Structure 1
Amino acid sequence: MSDERGTTTGSTAVDDDRATTRSNAAGKPAIDVEKKAEGPAKPKSGIQKLIAWVMALRLVRVFIRFSSSGGEIMASGMSFQAVFAVFAGIWVGFSIFGIVLASNQALMDAVVQQLSNSIPGLIGEDGAIDPDMLSQARILGWTGAIALVGLVLTAIGWLASTRDSIRRIFKLDPPTTNPVILKLKDFGLALGFGIAIVLSSAVSLLSNQGLTIVFNLVGIDSESPVALFVAWLVGVLVVFAFDSLVLGVAFRVLSGVKIPLRRLVVGAVIGGAALGVLKILGSLLLGGATSNPLLASFAVIIGIMIFLNLVCRVILVSATWIAVGMDDAGIDPRALSPEQMEVERQQRVADARDTLVSAERERLRNELTTTHGLARRRVRKKLERLEKLDRAEALKLSKKL
């Protein structure tokens, strides 16, 4: 019997919380509570959308990965070693190429200017190194020999730490290359970097001479503001191209990964542009260090250390940009490393061997069912040797993998 409110005797229903009360067999009320159905997800508010959009930006994800990979600590360690590598490298570099540079004063000045632009405050009247002292550098003396040993140790150490840092950014395991070969590769890379500086200086010198000729042909004074601006712009472009090329080679060689060319070029160009901005603003960084009276005695060295720390950060952030781009494209850097390629090659060889072994095992088993006497014994021996060899090869492969 129902009352006016729609309730039933012995049974009560409440729609709001989906609780029902009814009489059981003993006449006692029993309550069943059903879980409320979850409604549709609430739309994100404006602030939540903004946060999600910002976190999805590639630049933000690059810096998050840089920080989570220990980029700050790695850049600090790299910059500390870079200070010693730079001074030893310049001394030995001028000792080796001094004979060539001494015969061409214009090229000598271009190299000095290139180094001065690369690291503000390094070379010059107020810099850490007197340009006149570089012309007296000789590798045959005791100082040159000691500097050579220092260069080998510091340059290789800096390149080794840079390699470890870049591979950590790419989430790669340490290289398994022979340590001696790895050190020789690092030394060759350092030597190639020195040669690249000389070549870049030569290109800069030739471009300046070419601009002078062009200005004379069109009747523009080479000392006019327009000519000076064009010469400055050409110099910046030459340095930008040099930095981008060096970064591209460093990322490819030090990572040990066959990075897709397009992503490698984009990362190197971004790094080259950032280094160019640092070099343009380098004098301001040095000025900030010299303005502190507590650091006046060491202002130049501290300015160089700050600059090199920023350079190392740029290198690692550029590498992180490439790594994040490869992740977005679904490219696993580990699959492009020589170590992983060797593992995959060995796995393919093992798969092919397993196929041949399975076919041979099946053939011997079939032959075993149709032979008798000595022939059956020979087939059984062959099958036992096959099984033994298969187990030995499987054990050897498991150790390698």
Structure 2
Amino acid sequence: MDWLTGLPWIGSRIATVMRTHAYRAFAHLLTVHWTRLAAAMTFTSFLSLFPLLAVSAAIGAATLSKGQLATLEHKLTQQIPGIADQLDISGLVANAGAVGLISAGALLLTGVGWVGSLRDCLRAVWHKDDEEHNLIVNKVQDAGILLGLGAAVLISLAASGFATAAVDWTAARIGIAHNGPGPVLLTLVGYVLAGIADFLILVYLLTLLPGVEPPRRAVAGAALIGAVGFEVLKLALSGYLQRVAGKNVYGAFGTPIALLLWINFMAKLLLYCAAWTATPIHAGDLDPHAHRGGKGQEITGDADEQGGSHRWERPRWGADGGGVPR
């Protein structure tokens, strides 16, 4: 890959691109086999999705009014573009009592396992080994993280819903017309509020879940990339996923296939955000792996002659130029 930097005319531009944080984060993903990590995250997330939805519906049915429940249902359907109608979330809400009892046991198994798998995948991006604790302690910690993540999601959705309702109420009071720039501005405000909610959830996922302490600037940048990317993907993939779910060739497997695609896209986006926090902001800066320390982590780069610290080194590519890091 480095041979491209020696090409006339475009070599200097390619070298500039290879020094950017965006490229170095992607190169780091290649070294940790990110497609395998995304596949593991997709599988466990798919198994946990329906029990999680069922328990959420049961909790919502028991604690929220009909109007609040309808708002929450609408927010949930917005998170799975194009195929939410295939999931029959209304049916889950209507049968929340019976479904919730059945799925509560499944959630304890699949949900806690999902948290552990997600944490291990994010720690792998940091070259950190799995944490060694007592099995029971691990499961209790994972259950606590799952509850914390659920609380963060609910708080974010509630805050987003409240802010959206406040904006709509204000627009009605000042008499914004249904045509013209008014509705466009309200739509943009809705996307901004959704992005803020996504940002807060990603901060939780990138720091507390894997148990790492990246620089705040890197976390903010990664969470912003993830929040914007999530909203863009929802818009870009809505029609595509709807076509996949409705294809006759897939038959009854259309919706599960579309769900798997959607979860895989989200998993890869989250892994890229994690890689963004795990690589230096500027080429030549200290590697976050080196000064954050951790059991079982690998440190790349050679020791600095003066300070004895480790410097980050761009992944080295094979001599055959095949683009596979070694």
State TM-score, norm by structure 1: 0.66
The alignment status of 1:107 with 2:63, answered yes or no, reads no
Partner of 1:69: 32
Give the equivalent residue in structure 1 for 2:138.
182
Output aligned runs, 1:312-327, within 5 Å.
312-325=267-280
Question: What amino acid is the match of 1:49?
Answer: S
Match of 2:317 in 1: none
Task: Give the direction of change, closer, same or farther, for the CA distance of 1:146–1:327 in structure 2 (3 Å limit).
Answer: farther
Q: Does 1:133 align with 2:92?
A: yes
Segments of structure 2 that go 5 or more residues without pairing to the other structure are 1-5, 297-326
What letter is aligned with 2:68? Answer: L
SS in 2 for 1:84: helix
Query: Within the alignment, does 1:60 sit opposite 2:15 as a pair?
Result: no
| Mapping of residues 273-312 of structure 1, within 5 Å | 273-290=228-245, 292-312=247-267
Alignment of 1:16-55 (within 5 A): 45-55=8-18
Q: What is the identity percentage for the equivalent residue pairs of Structure 1 and Structure 2?
A: 24
Shift of 1:137: 0.9
| 2:167 counterpart residue number | 211
State the partner residue of 1:163. Answer: 119
Partners of 1:61 and 1:324 within 8 A in 2: yes
Shift of 1:289: 0.8
The correspondence for 1:228, drawn from 155, 174, 183, is: 183
SS in 2 for 1:46: coil
Separation (CA, whole Å) in 2 of partners of 1:46 and 1:219: 57
Quote the offset at 1:271 in angstroms.
Answer: 1.1
The size of the alignment, in residue pairs, is 290
User: In the aligned structure 1, how far is the partner of 2:210 from the partner of 2:219?
Assistant: 11
Shift of the 337–94 alpha-carbon distance from structure 1 to 2, 3 Å rule, reads: farther
Query: Counterparts of 1:204 and 1:198 in 2: how far apart (Å)?
Result: 10
Paired residue type of 1:110: T
Alpha carbons 1:120, 1:304 under 8 Å: kept: no
- Please give the per-residue CA displacement for 1:352-391, whole angstroms capped at 9, x wherever unaligned: xxxxxxxxxxxxxxxxxxxxxxxxxxxxxxxxxxxxxxxx
* CA distance in structure 2 between the partners assigned to 1:254 and 1:216 by the alignment: 41
CA contact (8 A) 2:38 2:268 kept: yes
Q: Is the 1:326–1:332 Cα contact (8 Å) retained in structure 2?
A: no
> Which residue pairs with 1:197 in the alignment?
153
Q: Kindly provide the CA deviation profile for residues 198-231 of structure 1, in whole angstroms up to 9, marking residues without a partner as x.
A: 333332332233223322332223x445443233
Q: 1:51 to 1:218 in 2, by over 3 A?
A: closer
Aligned match of 1:80: 43
Question: Shift of the alpha carbon at 1:48?
Answer: 3.8
1:333 counterpart = 2:296: no
Higher relative contact order (CA 8 A, sep 6+): 2
Consecutive unaligned residues in structure 1, runs of 5 or more? 1-42, 341-401
Give the letter for the 1:54 counterpart: V
Partner Cα separation in structure 2 for residue 214 and residue 322 of structure 1: 39
Q: Please state how far the C-alpha of 1:116 moved relative to its aligned partner.
A: 1.0
TM-score by length of 2: 0.80
Residues in 2 aligned to 1:167 and 1:194: alpha-carbon distance in whole angstroms: 21
Q: Does 1:151 align with 2:107?
A: yes
Larger Rg: 1
Q: Does the residue aligned with 2:239 lie in a helix, a strand or coil?
A: helix
Task: Supply the distance in 2 between the matched residues of 1:120 and 1:253 (Cα, whole angstroms).
Answer: 28
2:201 maps to which of 246, 251, 271: 246
Contact 1:200–1:238 at 8 Å: present in 2 too? no
Pair 1:270-2:225 in alignment: yes
Decide whether the 8 Å contact of 1:121 with 1:303 is kept in 2.
no
Name the aligned partner's letter for residue 138 of structure 2. L
Query: Cα–Cα, structure 1 residues 256 and 298, in superposed 2: closer, same or farther, change >3 Å?
Result: same
Mapped contact 2:42–2:263 kept (Cα < 8 A): yes
**Structure 2 residue aligned with 1:16:** none
- CA displacement at 1:121 relative to structure 2: 4.4
Q: Answer with 243-252 or 207-216: which moved more.
A: 207-216
Q: Which letter does structure 2 place at the counterpart of 1:280?
A: L
Mapped to 2, the partners of 1:205 and 1:52 lie a distance apart of 45
